[in-house]
């Protein structure tokens, strides 16, 4: 048996990589099948946080230029290419068909997870349709799993998504809000199971990971923060904050978690800045300098190139203020108190559903892994 996994696990976003890693493990445990992984955006080039951190370091004197210029040039080239070539939907469909023809037969395909159900012309909107259509042409059963939605669709997009989801054998969403969107707006008979990354620690013995710190191994004195990249804020959010005002907001949130007299042995403030994307790494470097310049506060900038590194850095933290959902999902599994900053809709949903919930990593993780396994086996057995 061969199963195709389609997800965003090829980017520098460690949350996306965690989704891909755990989903591959769940599929293997549930079916024993050989798996082939392909990127959700068919023309996206693989990147890694380690490579990007090595290639371009943030420069304090020009805090916005390098990461902003890097992505602006890429997006401009992509826009020019799109203007000269076939429409996005057609190009994605062609590329996906070519990939599938090259790989041969699949017994089933799983798309997800992540916030993949989008509208307003987002590339994810075109990619989701293209994958479902191309797989349906080959009579390959398709499951869309572990996904969420921002629920902003035009009428035409709503109709297109309804048509696409009607071709899926299984739809499993990761939060109650998306379940309501599926039922009430898209008219999809979807089911619910929490984000698959909640099963990360439970499944770690099945993953190629090093030995993890136990709860009592390290005296947790540090406070952690994952500062969401300013440049990735929505237009609406940027109207609310200048960058300096944005940093002031983060400073106020962090001060709730850390008092001025909490010092480490070196005399520095007891704050560690973590990150799960390249843009957040650059933002953390700038925020650390801002803290020192504007507030005379010191912070430690973690060295993170992989999921392993991130979990290791969490080991000596007792709390985490974060604008990244998977950063907090991983933290909850290691007994760390989280404070979600609702930068995006999915963070507000996470805050409501998980921030104050007691998470038992071994039991809850097993239940979540089992829910995905059952859905996969049910799809295959039909």
Q: What is the pLDDT of residues 67-84, one digit of tens each?
A: 555 556 656 666 666 555
Q: What is the pTM of this model?
A: 0.88
Per-residue pLDDT at 53: 85
* pLDDT beyond 80 at 330: yes
Residue 208 — pLDDT band, cuts 50, 70, 90?
Answer: very low
Distance CA 19, CA 324 (A): 14
Half-sphere exposure of 117 toward its Cβ, with a 13 Å CA cutoff? 32
- Return the CA Rg of the chain: 21
Amino acid 12: pLDDT: 93
Q: CB–CB of 254/225 below 8 Å?
A: yes
Query: Cis link prior to 18 (omega < 30° from 0)?
Result: no
User: What backbone phi and psi angles, to 5 degrees, belong to 298?
Assistant: -105, 150
Kindly report the number of other CB atoms within 10 A of residue 35's CB atom.
17
Cα gap 185→112, rounded to integer Å = 20
- Name the β-bridge partners of 319: 223, 337
User: Using one digit for the tens of pLDDT, what is the confidence trace for 217-244?
Assistant: 445 568 999 999 998 998 888 899 999 9
The C-alpha angle 258, 263, 268, rounded to 5 degrees, equals 105
What is the rounded distance in angstroms from the CA atom of residue 215 to the CA atom of residue 233? 34
Q: Reduce the DSSP state of residue 53 to 3 states and report it.
A: helix
Closest-CA residue to 301 (of 60, 64, 14):
60
Q: Is the pLDDT of residue 30 over 50?
A: yes
Q: How confident is the model at residue 138 (pLDDT cuts 50, 70, 90)?
A: very high
Q: What is the pLDDT of residue 128?
A: 97
Burial class (CB in 10 A: 0-12, 13-18, 19+), 36: middle
Average pLDDT, the chain: 87
């Amino acid at each position: 048996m061969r199963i195709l996994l389609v997800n965003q696990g090829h980017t520098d976003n460690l949350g996306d990589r965690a989704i891909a890693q755990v989903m591959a493990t769940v599929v293997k445990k549930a079916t024993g099948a050989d798996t082939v992984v392909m990127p959700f955006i068919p023309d996206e080039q693989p990147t890694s946080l380690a490579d990007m951190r090595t290639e371009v370091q943030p420069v304090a004197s020009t805090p916005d230029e390098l990461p902003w210029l890097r992505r602006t040039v890429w997006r401009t080239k992509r826009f020019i290419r799109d203007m000269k070539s076939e429409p996005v939907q057609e190009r994605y469909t062609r590329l996906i068909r070519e990939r599938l023809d090259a790989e041969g037969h699949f017994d089933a395909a799983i798309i997800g997870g992540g916030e993949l159900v989008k509208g307003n012309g987002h590339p994810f909107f075109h990619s989701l349709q293209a994958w479902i259509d191309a797989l349906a042409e080959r009579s390959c059963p398709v499951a869309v799993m572990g996904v969420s939605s921002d629920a902003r669709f035009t009428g035409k997009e709503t109709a297109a998504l309804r048509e696409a989801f009607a071709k899926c054998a299984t739809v499993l969403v990761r939060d109650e809000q998306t379940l309501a969107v599926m039922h009430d707006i898209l008219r999809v008979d979807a089911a619910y199971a929490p984000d698959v990354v909640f099963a990360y620690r439970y499944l770690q013995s099945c993953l190629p990971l090093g030995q993890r710190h136990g709860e009592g191994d390290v005296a947790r004195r540090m406070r952690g923060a994952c500062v969401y990249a300013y440049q990735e804020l929505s237009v609406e959010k940027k109207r609310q904050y200048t960058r300096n005002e944005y940093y002031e907001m983060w400073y106020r949130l962090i001060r709730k978690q850390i008092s001025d007299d909490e010092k480490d042995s070196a005399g520095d403030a007891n704050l560690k800045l973590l990150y799960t994307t390249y843009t957040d790494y650059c933002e953390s470097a700038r925020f650390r300098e801002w803290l020192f310049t504007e507030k005379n506060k010191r912070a430690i900038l973690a060295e993170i190139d992989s999921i392993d590194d991130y979990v290791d850095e969490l080991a000596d933290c007792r709390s985490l203020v974060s604008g990244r959902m998977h950063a907090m999902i991983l933290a909850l599994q290691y007994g760390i108190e989280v404070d979600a900053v609702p930068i995006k809709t999915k963070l507000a949903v996470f805050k409501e559903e998980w921030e104050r919930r007691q998470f038992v990593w071994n039991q809850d993780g097993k239940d979540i892994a089992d829910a995905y396994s059952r859905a996969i086996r049910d799809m295959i057995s039909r």
